[in-house]
A = this chain, B = another copy of it.
């Protein structure tokens, strides 16, 4: 049995070596400890780094933790080196990603029908970027492929897990409760006015 202090130190070493998020279950196995305990230690570390205002922070993705830089220090990173920049996603890619994120697992024809236009090339682009993956085939006619988001998706948009996806009300609900929230800016449709 290792002390908590030793285990936390070990977690730091392993996160640093690995580069990518370290799974709680792997860490627990190596430390011969319980997953809940190890997860607790990861979160303690995460807090310490935040409290101390460190330049590196600990990010949780699903049930794994890894070092990342502190976002506000980006300016220093840019002065130091030219980090590899990923091209920002197009509007079409964001729409398809939104559909997959909220409706996964989902087939291409479902995506097409929600967008009202073919999305094949956009889907291929998202597969290439490792933001979505094929999760198998639907039981439906023709057994079409079904798609789901990846860990890379969570990383890119800073979600800990899919549970973190924000709740977005249906248009109909928005229209019925126009005072509840102000969606007009985002939707660019004036609901209040349309109620007249």
The chain A residues found within 8 Å of chain B, CB to CB, are 5, 8-18, 22, 26, 30-31, 53-56, 67, 69-70, 73, 76-77, 79-81, 83
Contacts and interface: CB of A to CB of B under 8 A. Distances in A.
Contacts of A16: 55-56, 67, 69
Contact of A14 (B18, B22, B30, B76): B76
Interface of A is mostly: helix
A56 B45 CA distance: 13
Contacts of A79: 30
For A69, A70, A76, A83, which residue has the most chain B Cβ atoms within 10 angstroms?
A76
A16 B16 CA distance: 9
A69 B17 CA distance: 8
Contacts of A67: 16
A13 B77 contact: yes
Contact of A17 (B12, B14, B83): B83
Given A12-B56, A16-B56, 7 more contacts: A8-B55, A9-B53, A10-B76, A12-B54, A13-B69, A13-B77, A30-B80
Contacts of A31: 76
Contacts of A83: 17
A56 B13 contact: yes
For A12, A15, A53, which residue has the most chain B Cβ atoms within 10 angstroms?
A12
A52 to B, nearest CB: 8
Contacts of A30: 76, 79-80
A9 B80 contact: no
